[in-house]
Chains A and B, each alone.
Chain A
């Protein structure tokens, strides 16, 4: 399992933020400016390619924080 720091670095790339955003494990996903359908697809691709895991739209909806997402990568 990646460290939370490594996970956040990959998450940043997957979401493709237009402006740099400060993200920690407790960051609420819905507060992020670009947490939209495109970001969701980017994160699903990230899980598939980086962690060999298939996560669904429902899995994503059930995640509130970055830490919740990180737990899915285990």
Chain B
């Protein structure tokens, strides 16, 4: 169990950016409306944000980072680290962090690398960056998290109605007065086929036939380069792993459920999120959701939900947040942070 407590790390700001282009899950032929309404009722996703061609995750993250740096008044030369968490990089290599170091005008002294994680990626990223800052050598760092998950070429309707695009930026800095931050991180690679892309990597290098749509064992038409989702396996993983992990983290921090102001969970779908909430016995008002308007925004879903629902209260008074991400890997991670006086811009739309 990778439980850890970090000291001297302060969240200085969080910014979230989404494409302006909205896609409705109810935009369908009239004969399908009733079926789609049932779908929306159960997965809880009415509309999603989709990047137009040419707009990448890194562009969304860059907008979020530029706004955050500007609002913080940070000198770019003081930024020591830029870590990107994404599974939709601009290129197979180099990683997006190194490219963004240049695009953001950060100095060559800024260390930059990518972390390949999806829905668990925000707490993981905070832990990696927080650990580097906590060690005392780095004073200011940026964590850019998110994905371009929509895929206009996908014929898998079960996939298409879930995913949405978003990029976020989080600023962290060394501060000896910061309250401790509690983390708990897990992995279970035995379940990797629950969410995976079969071809295009070195195990199954890209071949022309992998671009041909074919019906899989589950009857769903996909290309080998499309993501395979095993719904029952994902549901069981999420709803059995996350609640005990949250309880364990609260125990580690010596806190009761009522001591946390906001529970920010990865936004998977309503069935998963509501089951987790009910198993933990949490009141709905402390567990905000962005599913209805934004869908599943992968690793960006936690900071996006913070921006959309916790931001205004956080601007008024210190707030204790429990954040929990879970998904591809399989991987899950949670953290408890107290955030005070952070810079929190309104949602950025491009």
B231: contacting residue among A16, A34, A37, CB under 8 A: A37
Q: Determine the chain B residues whose CB is within 8 A of the CB of A34 once the complex forms.
A: 38
Cα separation A3 to B137 with both chains bound (whole Å): 64
Whole-angstrom distance between the Cβ of A37 and the nearest chain B Cβ: 6
Question: B275 and A48: CB pair below 8 A?
Answer: yes
- 17 more CB-based (< 8 A) A-B contacts, given A18-B38, A40-B231, A41-B271: A16-B38, A37-B158, A38-B42, A38-B43, A40-B232, A42-B42, A42-B271, A44-B232, A44-B236, A45-B239, A48-B239, A48-B240, A49-B278, A56-B233, A56-B236, A57-B232, A57-B233
Q: Classify the interface of chain B: helix, strand, loop or mixed.
A: helix
Whole-angstrom distance between the Cβ of A17 and the nearest chain B Cβ: 9
Cα separation A57 to B231 with both chains bound (whole Å): 8
Residue of A nearest to B234 (CB): A41
Chain B residues with a Cβ under 8 A of chain A = 34-35, 38-39, 41-43, 158, 218, 230-233, 235-236, 239-240, 271, 275, 278-279
How many residue pairs between the two chains, A and B, have CB atoms under 8 Å in the bound complex?
Answer: 48
Listed by A's residue number, 15 A-B pairs whose Cβ atoms lie within 8 Å are A18-B38, A38-B38, A38-B39, A38-B43, A40-B231, A40-B232, A41-B42, A42-B271, A45-B271, A48-B279, A49-B278, A54-B236, A56-B232, A56-B233, A60-B232
Question: A41 and B39: CB pair below 8 A?
Answer: no
Cα separation A20 to B181 with both chains bound (whole Å): 51
B240: contacting residue among A16, A40, A54, A57, CB under 8 A: A54
Question: A49 and B275: CB pair below 8 A?
Answer: yes
Question: A18 and B34: CB pair below 8 A?
Answer: yes
Cα separation A47 to B164 with both chains bound (whole Å): 29
Q: Determine the chain B residues whose CB is within 8 A of the CB of A37 once the complex forms.
A: 158, 218, 231
Cα separation A25 to B180 with both chains bound (whole Å): 55
Whole-angstrom distance between the Cβ of A2 and the nearest chain B Cβ: 19
Question: A41 and B232: CB pair below 8 A?
Answer: yes
Residue of B nearest to A56 (CB): B232
Question: A41 and B235: CB pair below 8 A?
Answer: yes
Cα separation A57 to B278 with both chains bound (whole Å): 22
Whole-angstrom distance between the Cβ of B113 and the nearest chain A Cβ: 36
Among all A-B residue pairs, the 9 with the closest Cβ atoms = A57-B232, A18-B34, A45-B275, A41-B271, A45-B271, A54-B236, A44-B235, A41-B231, A41-B235
Q: Mark A30-42, 1 if CB is under 8 A from B, else 0.
A: 0000100110111
Cα separation A37 to B34 with both chains bound (whole Å): 16
Cα separation A37 to B161 with both chains bound (whole Å): 13
Q: Determine the chain A residues whose CB is within 8 A of the CB of B38 once the complex forms.
A: 16, 18, 34, 38
Cα separation A16 to B240 with both chains bound (whole Å): 23
Whole-angstrom distance between the Cβ of B284 and the nearest chain A Cβ: 16
Which A43-74 residues have C-beta < 8 A from chain B?
44-45, 48-49, 54, 56-57, 60
Cα separation A42 to B95 with both chains bound (whole Å): 39
Whole-angstrom distance between the Cβ of B222 and the nearest chain A Cβ: 14
Residue of A nearest to B37 (CB): A18
Question: B41 and A57: CB pair below 8 A?
Answer: no
Cα separation A5 to B235 with both chains bound (whole Å): 26
